[in-house]
Amino acid sequence: MSAEPRMNFAFLRSTPAAAVGRNVGIIGAGPSGLAATGYLAANGYQVEAYDKLPRPGGLMVFGIPSSRIAPDRIQRGVTMLERQYGVLFHTRTKICCSAPLHEEEGDHFSYDMVGLADLLERHDAIMICTGSWKSRKLGVEGESLRGVYSSLEFLFPIRAVRYASPNVTVPPVEGKRVVVVGAGHSAVDVAHSAKQLGAQSVSIVYRRTATEAPCGRYEVERMVECGCTWLEQRNPLRFLGEVDVQGVEVALPDGTHEVLPADVVVTAIGEVPTPPFAKELGLENVRKGDVRWLNMTALDNVFVAGDVLTGPSKIGQAVYSGLRAARSLANWLDLRAQNRQHEYDAAADLVKR
Amino acid sequence: MTSGINETAPAQGPKDTRTLYIDYSKCIGCETCEAVCKFLYAQPRIVMVRTVDGQMLPLYCRHCDHPHCMKTCRTGSLTVDEQHAVLLNPMFCRGCQTKSCILGCPYGGVFATGEGVAVSKCDLCASRRKKGDLPACVEMCPTGAILYVEREAIPGLETDESRAAEARVTDFVRPRKEKS
Ligand SMILES: Cc1cc2nc3c(=O)[nH]c(=O)nc-3n(C[C@H](O)[C@H](O)[C@H](O)COP(=O)(O)OP(=O)(O)OC[C@H]3O[C@@H](n4cnc5c(N)ncnc54)[C@H](O)[C@@H]3O)c2cc1C
Ligand code: SF4
Ligand code: SF4
């Protein structure tokens, strides 16, 4: 007996409901976008999902190592959405700003870029589920030296290279001394990946103790078992080197400094959301819950869900957000069709969070 | 597994004895099971905990052969169905202060909600089962750590890693007494 071979994003109904004659576009096919896609497709909506990457799955496929989530499980779930629920996936398609919506200098189109305004014309409603991909910077000297990566700069190519993307090269790690800054889940993933890629040594530098590490003591112990060096209570001050990084200078609790030699440094201190057109959409208000409609942005018919809204979270939270937003979107379209939007009780919807 | 999608028809044989089994060594603590359950039932019936060494793992009902929760409940709110899923009848449950069922469960699989019906527990997605659908958490787990399997098959699925991981959860639910 084995596990179900796929993530069933359309778990709500084993066969799609009768077509409701509505068409929704989902931007970003990570866990939040796929959950929303599954919910709406199961309820009889025609759903088209757009993603800039060659495969749907978001960070489940392009961030988290395949030893933890088998990419096939996600792909089979995607195939099921396509075949049984009629979902159309447009991969390698980036959604960006467009002139009619708000004029912005430097707006340009390439054939694989689609504007938000175009999408709004094409669909009855759209949902933005673009995640949180910009890595937070440490803000220390030497962060732009060659050989210094953020966690996603480091992890993404390792996963993306499987999909034969021409512009992607795996960071050279073999035989190198790698220093990882941070102790969250992405730091753990970086450490294990570096080990697997044949790093000579992997050291994890964290400013507090193992008990306080966001990844938990268990993960710290596992990294040590795998041959990584755990260096706690060390605060990185600057990265040393001329062109290539050569070391990390850290401060110890007693105030003394120490230099850790390094050929590769990865800062894994979290990501920040990079929503396209955050201001226009009034995302700050959506975050605060100050909305006319649950998960709807300042633009009518434009919804938002997942890490792009909440900042980095977890798959479960992204899924929940996607499902809630999808339900909200469907309710909005229903009431709007009858011109009864004003009957919506936002307060009642919010307390149920 | 080559057939791709597993059809959701009931298992063959006279009696369906399927229940949940989580291989904690495959679980990455992503909270998807809890999230999906919460979306469907408002109060989740599978709940994440942080173990002493900081691992996030879900607690869940094992639908035991001899359910202790059922024995301790004095209102008769807990019953078993034909598949031996342990069900809570919210009409009878009066959210008693003794919390016998919650305290009685050796797996920490019965949960206090703090509102409405004071208790929530897994019914193996009873309404979905009626339609021949699988439990929602099983459908959506990104790693395949949650299985929906015949009870008899569970011992055969356990590995050294899964047992070690399970022990960390057990330690959390029932901390071992310090022996002096
Ligand atoms: C290294 C790492 C390890 C992690 N490990 C875990 C873990 O073990 N457990 C856990 O629960 N969580 C983990 N997380 C967090 C988890 O991956 C995220 O919380 C989750 O994936 C967020 O889902 P999402 O759908 O909001 O966004 P994402 O998964 O980020 O998906 C967003 C999608 O939108 C697409 N996109 C972005 N912009 C555009 C655009 N303009 N046009 C078209 N498409 C676009 C992207 O290509 C991507 O596919 C980890 C994160 C990282 C970085
Ligand atoms: S969904 Fe699966 S992997 Fe995620 S926490 Fe639940 S059992 Fe673990
Ligand atoms: S089987 Fe259904 S009710 Fe039980 S934990 Fe899973 S989703 Fe919740």
Q: What is the pLDDT of residues A284-340, one digit of tens each?
A: 777 776 666 788 887 889 999 999 888 889 999 999 999 999 999 999 999 888 887
Distance, in Å, from the CA atom of A187 to the CA atom of A218, rounded to the nearest integer, reads: 14
Q: Is A149 helix (H, G, I), strand (E, B) or coil?
A: strand
- Please check whether residue B57 touches A, CB under 8 A: no
In a domain? residue B31: yes
User: What domains lie within chain A, and their CATH numbers?
Assistant: 23-133+272-350 (3.50.50.60), 137-269 (3.50.50.60)
In a domain? residue B71: yes
Determine, for residues B54 and A314 on separate chains, whether the beta-carbon distance falls below 8 Å: no
Total tally of structural domains belonging to chain B: 1
In a domain? residue B8: no
CB-CB contact of A142 with A320 (8 Å): no
On the question of pLDDT at A104 being above 50, the answer is no
CA distance A271 to chain B (A): 17
CB-CB contact of A204 with A227 (8 Å): no
Indicate which of B1, B2, B3, B5 best probes the interface with A, i.e. most A CBs within 10 Å of its own CB: B5
CATH number at residue B64: 3.30.70.20
Q: What is the pLDDT of residues A51-88, one digit of tens each?
A: 988 899 999 999 898 889 999 999 999 999 999 999 99
In a domain? residue B3: no
- Cβ atoms within 10 A of the Cβ of A307, count? 28
Q: What is the pLDDT of residues B34-74, one digit of tens each?
A: 999 999 999 999 999 998 888 899 999 999 999 999 999 98
Q: Give the position of tokens 């797996």.
A: B107
pTM of the predicted model as reported, rounded to 2 decimal places: 0.90
Q: CA separation (Å) from A287 to A106, A136, A173, A298, A348?
A: 29, 20, 39, 12, 17
On the question of pLDDT at B110 being above 70, the answer is yes
Q: Which domain holds residue B102?
A: 18-173
First CA to last CA distance, chain A: 36
In which order are the strands placed within the sheet that holds A245-251? A235-241, A245-251, A257-261
- Partner residue opposite A315 with nearest CB, options B8, B31, B168: B31
- Partner residue opposite A4 with nearest CB, options B30, B34, B134: B134
Joined together, the tokens standing for residue A25 give 């576009």
